[in-house]
Amino acid sequence: MNKGDYIRERLIWMKKIIVILLAIFMFFSLFGEKEVVNGIETVSIIGVGDLMLGTNYPSSKYLPGKNILKGVEDILKDADITFGNLEGTILNSGGTPKTCKDCFTFRMPEYTVDYLKEAGFDVLSLANNHSRDFGATGAKNTMKLLDKTGIHYAGLTECPYTIFEKDGIKYGFCAFAPDYSGVMHFTDAVNIIKYLDARCDIVIVSFHMGAEGNGYEHITRKTEYFLGENRGDPYHLAREAIDAGADVVFGQGPHVTRAIDVYKNRFIAYSLGDFATYGRFDLTDACGVAPIIKIYVSKKGEFLSGRIYSIKLVERGIPVIDGNQTALKKIIDLTKSDIPESPLTIEKNGVFKLASKPVTVISLQIGKSTFTVDGISHTLDIPPLIKNGRTMLPIRAVIEALKGKVIFDEGERKVTITLGSKTIELSAYESTAKVNGIDTPIDSTNLQVTPEIINGRILLPVRFVTESLGCLVDWNPHTKTVTITYVGG
């Protein structure tokens, strides 16, 4: 071999080595590392709503004859964890159909479990009113097939929760519903979530909650009823779940899309709507569109960012990408109207993240001398109390936590509070205050609500003061907790 041939051969080998090294680099770049957001290694989680891929009961005419998830598989598979709500049983034949007036029963053929696996589903909720449509036989067969396929699930009394590990992250999952026989109930939630939180890195919770159908897109912050059935209070159920240790809360049940939110840096979707529901569902108007919501969280479950993909249901219930972005537009509008204090900003391209303005969240409980500011505990010298039907509090600790100022004139028994551009002046036992110099009734429906001096301290009506300063105030009657949210400042 002459010198020229030797050099050419060496160059060929060097090119081959470079190609191999580039291939290795690209492999690990695409598959070997997780996405990083703001310098934090992330976990991606996709959530979708109701899944019913066709039923052979009462007739095979309700079967689509194909895999209806094919058109959205690429998105569903593009996450570390993909979640959905399985509405119905997986059973070829048999079982005892439930008997009820004006209701439906769903029996998906057993081959549909392969469609769920192929689409990338990792975990499913069984906590709904259709998981026992064909009695114990249907429920047992569904669990057997999911076990065989490697899809995790929870929500029945036989499977109240599940713990599983993927890519070095330990997940806990649980699901709850109204008082359906054999299904985990809302009242079971707090204890199970606490149990999972003590053992898992990330806890995902599903609730079948809220009134259903067109006309029920809005969050009421009250207990919702449908056909006389208590469907829970979605706003407070989600918050109580996060207080107990949940990192992600996905809501189903209303069959329509609802607002999204972040509370204590944990993500909430109040309803994910009908995602892939074939043949027997009302798909008109709001019921016929839904989101695929993909979020990025830290390895401890803290929300980082997310994206909304809009789908619409065509041909009796097949999900396809919606070029009009209807679900996204609905979520933007519903979040603005129903959760105006939400710290999220949602862009027109579907990307959502925490707002740049700081958000302060204060939580107080009646009779409790400690309160929290953004999760950090502080002490009150006098606990909040209820007087004349309103929560009263020595307000200085709250205002100073919001970076405001409080001046008390002992001689005139007058309090002046300043926060940003707002100033409030209140006097003991006076039912009118000045807000930026304008006389304003403290409570036009109850003139007995006034600042009062108790045990040498002046206590002020919390809602009037904080709302006058631009805060949003929420009262949870179940836990007797007041939550004050202030955006900005």
Task: Give the 3-state DSSP-derived string for 302-352, with helices as H, strands as E and coil as C.
Answer: CEEEEEEEEEEEECCCEEEECCCCHHHHHHHHHHHHHCCCCCEEECCCCEE
At residue 373, the pLDDT reads 92
Q: Which residue type sits at 438?
A: I
Return the CATH number of 36-354, one of 3.40.640.10, 3.30.70.2860, 3.40.50.620, 3.60.21.10. Answer: 3.60.21.10
pLDDT of residue 28: 43
Task: Give the DSSP letter of residue 181.
Answer: T
Rounded Cα–Cα distance for residues 112 and 56 (Å): 11
> Is beta strand 385-387 parallel, antiparallel or unpaired with respect to 390-393?
antiparallel
pLDDT at site 358: 76
Asked if 383 and 368 touch (Cβ cutoff 8 Å), the reply is yes
At residue 456, the pLDDT reads 83
Sign of CA dihedral 440, 442, 445, 447: negative
What is residue 211's DSSP assignment?
A: -
Nearest of 160, 185, 183, 184 to residue 173 by alpha carbon? 160
In sequence order, the β-bridge partners of residue 261 are 268
Residue 78: helix, strand or coil by DSSP?
A: coil
Mean pLDDT, consecutive 10-residue stretches, the chain (489 aa), reads 61 62 47 58 96 96 97 97 98 92 90 98 97 96 98 97 97 96 95 98 98 95 92 96 97 97 95 96 95 97 96 97 97 96 93 85 93 91 92 91 92 93 94 95 93 90 92 88 83
Neighbours of 462 (CB within 10 A): 22
Q: In this structure, what is the dihedral angle of CA atoms 299, 303, 304, 305, given to the nearest 10 degrees?
A: 130
Nearest to 365 by CA among 341, 342, 386: 386
**Angstrom distance (rounded) from CA 95 to CA 110:** 13
- Residues 6 or more apart whose CB falls under 8 angstroms from that of 173 comprise 83, 123, 152, 154, 161, 162, 163, 164, 196, 203, 204, 205, 206
Phi, psi of 426 (to 5 degrees): -130, 145
For residue 279, the 8-state DSSP code is S
* 71 secondary structure, DSSP code: G
The identity of residue 220, as a single letter, is T
* pLDDT in the model for residue 29: 42
Tokens of 291: 């989101």
- DSSP assignment, residue 478? T
At 309, the amino acid letter reads Y
Q: Is 137 helix (H, G, I), strand (E, B) or coil?
A: helix
Q: What CATH number matches the domain at 359-487, 3.40.390.30, 3.40.50.2300, 3.30.2320.80, 3.30.457.10?
A: 3.30.457.10
Residue 368's SS3 state is: coil
Sequence spans of domains, the chain: 36-354, 359-487
- Dihedral sign (CA 165, 166, 168, 169): negative
Q: Give the pLDDT score at 41.
A: 86
| Rounded Cα–Cα distance for residues 68 and 449 (Å) | 59
